[in-house]
A and B are shown apart, each in its own frame.
Chain A
Amino acid sequence: QQQVKQSPQSLIVQKGGISIINCAYENTAFDYFPWYQQFPGKGPALLIAIRPDVSEKKEGRFTISFNKSAKQFSLHIMDSQPGDSATYFCAANPSGSARQLTFGSGTQLTVLP
């Protein structure tokens, strides 16, 4: 089955701390792994993405770590800020699809001031 399992469901972090959200997949045909960020009342928007030919990708305070052998990938938010409070979704392309994504169940992140 084309699934991406995401944890935790919710996360509370103090300002300045590190937020870590994890995802795991089973299908080795997945070859594209984006993270989307959704603020209340808005649709999700692409945050950062990685392909399995690299183990890490960093954009500002956001880093994706990718472990191909374990079939896991994670989002790290360094120096978390209250403005990072949002719902985060990991995703992957089922069966190596060139068009569609399958999403994780989401993590609601709250960064306390």
Chain B
Amino acid sequence: DVKVTQSSRYLVKRTGEKVFLECVQDMDHENMFWYRQDPGLGLRLIYFSYDVKMKEKGDIPEGYSVSREKKERFSLILESASTNQTSMYLCANGPLDEQFFGPGTRLTVL
């Protein structure tokens, strides 16, 4: 069974903290993605990567950075968390014709 694992299901952080969200896949896919999901806004792409050490900005990259040191691992970093980054964060991987999503991390920034 394919697996996309996200490091936490729920996370609570304080404003200004540095936050790391990690995603690990066991599918050997080149493409990995980070989305945030907000009610009424759907899924919005933050960053994606198509190879180790490669990254591309998505639609809403401001306030985020990413790291991909190994093919199976893609990390999302909030350098200084703010309350407007409270959201559900979803990692995905796969080719265009089928992206596989993790279960999501519900991040609350107080």
What does the 1/0 interface line of B68-110 toward A look like (CB < 8 Å)?
Answer: 0000000000000000000000101001111111111000000
Whether, in the assembled complex, A60 has its beta carbon less than 8 Å from a beta carbon of chain B, the answer is no
Q: Does the CB pair A105–B42 fall under 8 Å?
A: yes
For chain A, the count of residues having a C-beta within 8 Å of the partner chain is 24
* A residues 49-100 in Cβ contact with B at 8 Å: 49, 89, 93, 97-100
Residues in chain A near residue B95, CB distance under 8 A? 99
Query: How near does chain A come to B9, taking the closest CB pair, in angstroms?
Result: 9
Residues in chain B near residue A113, CB distance under 8 A? none
Which of A42, A99, A102 is the one whose CB lies under 8 Å from B31?
A: A99
Interface residues of A (CB under 8 A from B): 2, 6, 9, 32, 34, 41-46, 49, 89, 93, 97-106
5 closest A-B pairs (Cβ-Cβ)? A43-B101, A105-B42, A103-B43, A103-B42, A106-B42
